[in-house]
Every structure is written in C-alpha cells, then in structure tokens.
Amino acid sequence: MTDSSGVTSGSDPDGGIDGRDRREITHSLAGGPRPGLRRVATEEAFSTKDVADELGKVATSPTESLDLSLVKAIYGGGRSSALLGRLLDLEEERLADMDANGVSVQLLSLTAPGVQMFDADSATDLASKANDQLAAVIDRHPERFGGLATIAPQSPRRAVAEMERAMGELKLNGFVINSHTNNEYLDDPKFWPILEAAEGLGACIYLHPRSPSDGFSAPLRHYGVNAVWGFATETGTHAVRMIMSGLFDRFPDLRFCLGHMGEGVHFWFWRLDFLQASLQRSGAGVRLALTPSEYFKRNFVITTSGQESHLALDYSIKALGADRVLWAVDYPYQPTASAVAFLDSAPISEEDREKVYHLNAERVFRLPSA
Ligand code: MN
C-alpha cells in the first residue's frame, strides 16, 4: 500500500506462490532519501579474500554444521556469486551504494560465521589479518567507515590480546562475535576473559547471528526457515542464556548489541521476568540481582538490521527507550534503499529519528559525530 508520503509498505505478502502477484513488502520513498539526515549503518558485512578462501574449504568439509548450506552457497561456488563480490568490495560498489542512498557511515564487520568455523590457530591468524585490512580501509575513508574487530573465541587468551590491539593500535570501534563457537556459548567460564576484556576496554560486542549450534538445529533444517528464524532463535537464546546465567552481575558494565530488532528478546520481557520470579521463589536457577528485562535494558542495545517493521520499531522504542535502538541495513544481504525509506518514513519524532539514525551509534561505538 502507498500512504500520503509516497511510502510503499506492506505487511501482508499473500501473493501467489509463484511470486507474480506477491505484494511488495520493502519500503520506497518517491523522492528518494530525505536530505539533511545523517545515517550511520551499524551491521554492515564484508569479507576478505583469505577468509573467503578458508570458507571455501569449509564448504567441502564433512562438517554437519547448519551453517554449511550458507557457506556452500556463498563460498563454494567457484567464486562467481554476486553476493561474494559485494562482500569483498569495500571501496567501489559499496561506496556508490552508500552515496546513492544517503548513508553517511557503514560500521563494518566481518560477515558471519566470521572465523568461528576454523581451527584456533587459523582463526586467530585470520582474525588479526582481517582486522588489519579493516583498519586500513577505515584509514583511507575515515568519514565513511568504522569497524568492529573480529576475534577468535576458540582461543580466549589470544582473543584478548587481539581485542587490546584492535581497540588500541587499530582504533576500531568494538567487536563482533557470531553467536556460538563450536557449539559453546559465552556464558561458559572459558570465555570470561573475553568478556572481562570487552568490559575493561569499554567496547560493545555485536552478537551477530549464525546458524544454531548442532544440538539446536534439527527442526530448522527444513523449509528454508533457518536464515531468518534459526538465526533469531540461536542468537536470542544466546542472549537469554547470558542473562539467566548471572553473567551481568559479574560483568555489570559489559555491553552487547543484538541485530534484527533485538532478535525478538524484548517481546518476551514479561514472560522472562515471570520465569525468573518463579525460579527465585522455588530456589531454582541462578539468583540474580536484577530482573531479565532490567539486564536487557542496561546491558544491551539493539539494531533494526533486516527488520523493517514500523510496528516492531514502535514497540522497541517503547520497551527499551529511543537511546537503545540503532539503525542498520545489513548490507549487502538487505537492500539499502528500503532500509533508508523504512526509517525516513517511520512515524516517530525527529528527535528519536536522529538517535536511531546516528546519535546512539556514535555513543555506543565511539564513532566520530560528523
Ligand atoms: Mn548481518
């Protein structure tokens, strides 16, 4: 449907199964991006040739990871995929796309699954090289790019050294971790040195999705549901585990960012708080100082990547406050023009739009403010 501002939005993709009369659900603005808005996109993917080559080897490996189908599709096909080309490109098509759509800054992160499917030595080495390449492109375009450092949780000790180098020497803006590593989650004490380092450095960890861990994946192997629903259940579960484990009493200043409108976790606030209260009464679970929703509002921010629903945005701002919602495109997996039209046309105050478009990102990821 088209409203008076020329915004096309859809919420009811009930077209025919062959797609010929499927309703458009992306957004578009008749006059193009609104002038005068600063737009900082915070979940923007890239890859490097080294990492892509190594994922090409994973594509032919005997792993049973649910990530394999995605890895095969992008990295296993003779390098001809247009998507792979857009991931490897940093300074040509990407900058042109940003210019055409009024995107001021992309906060770059090595695309999922990052280095988390490799052995510890390769992963540590590839993370460090990817971070060097990321810092170099930011140096060439300091007004257009920021970057989240990749780390290899497979070796927490070496990851901590890389985190210190990334925030110190490389002056990157935070970290990205793609959910589980070898089916293990960050509430495991083996990963606590990484969390302690992030807290000490005052740097936010973007907890980006990957496919669910092996024990969690069977029902998601059908009907193509994994790439959206599987990612959200995996990553949302990861966040809920961390909250319920008491991690944020140990690390009260630790900050995480969740994409895809918070992976839906805040929709469950009442039920999670009810669960926690029930557990406390019966002496089960871990005793927590705060309620789950209080931790989420203190220790997490969320982004709008790939979730262009005005209704979900409205709920998120009401549930979390406008200071905790950041804009993102999820380039090159999602179209930039639609993500821009979505927030340009969102029925929110201009003050909140500025927060979501750039002020929150500048604060959370310590990006320059223009
Ligand atoms: Mn993404």
Angle (deg, nearest 10), helices 231-244 and 269-282:
40
Residue 370's pLDDT band (cuts 50, 70, 90) = confident
Cα angle 138, 143, 145 (rounded to 5 degrees) comes to 40
pLDDT for the residue numbered 258: 99
> In the prediction, which pLDDT does 78 show?
57
Is residue 35 included in any domain, yes or no? no
Contact 292, 324 (CB under 8 A): no
Q: Using an 8 Å Cβ cutoff, are 143 and 336 in contact?
A: no
CA 263 to ligand 1 centroid distance, Å:
12
Residue of 131, 245, 110, 241 lying closest to 177 (CA atoms): 110
Amino acid at 98: M
What's the rounded Cα separation, in Å, for the pair 257 and 296? Answer: 10
Spatial strand order of the sheet with 105-110 comes to: 40-46, 105-110, 145-150, 175-178, 205-208, 256-258, 300-303, 325-326
Q: What is the tally of structural domains in the chain? A: 1
55: CA distance to ligand 1 center in Å?
A: 17
In tens, the pLDDT along 194-203 reads: 999 999 999 9
Nearest CA-CA partner of 329 in 150, 105, 12, 122: 105
pLDDT in tens, 118-129: 999 999 999 999
Active site residue 330: yes
The distance in angstroms from the start CA to the end CA of the chain is 35
Task: Confirm if 9 and 338 have CB atoms less than 8 A apart.
Answer: no
The DSSP-derived string for 282-311 is HT-S---SS-HHHHHHHHEEEE-TT---HH
Catalytic one of 67, 97, 187, 330: 330
With a cut of 80, say whether residue 23 has pLDDT above it.
no
Q: Are 117 and 58 in contact (CB under 8 A)?
A: yes
Q: What is the mean pLDDT of residues 313-342?
A: 98
Q: 366 C-alpha to center of ligand 1: Å?
A: 20
What are the residues facing 207 on neighbouring strands? 177, 258
- The whole-number pLDDT of residue 92 equals 97
Q: How remote is the CA of residue 334 from the centroid of ligand 1, in Å?
A: 9
User: What is the value of pTM for the model shown?
Assistant: 0.94
Q: Which two tokens stand for residue 364?
A: 């959370």
Q: How far is the CA of 39 from the centre of ligand 1 (A)?
A: 17
pLDDT category of residue 11 using cuts at 50, 70 and 90 = very low
Residue 113 has pLDDT above 50, yes or no: yes
With tokens 């209260």, the residue in question is: 277
Summarised one tens digit per residue, pLDDT across range 267-306 is: 999 999 999 999 999 999 999 999 999 999 999 999 999 9
Quick check: is 30 in a domain?
Answer: no
Q: Quickly tell me which residue has 């000790």 as its tokens.
A: 157
Residue 257 in this model has a pLDDT that exceeds 90: yes
Measured distance CA(70)–CA(174) in Å, rounded: 26
CA count, 13 A, side-chain hemisphere, 45: 27
Domain that holds residue 324: 40-364
Is 352 part of a structural domain of the chain? yes
What CATH number is associated with residue 76? 3.20.20.140
Give me the DSSP letters along 208-238. E--PPPGGG-GGGSSTT-IIIIIHHHHHHHH
Q: Considering the domain boundaries, does residue 19 fall inside one?
A: no
Does residue 20 carry a pLDDT above 60? no
CB count in 10 Å sphere of residue 265 = 24
- Please tell me the distance between residue 297's alpha carbon and the centre of ligand 1 in angstroms: 22
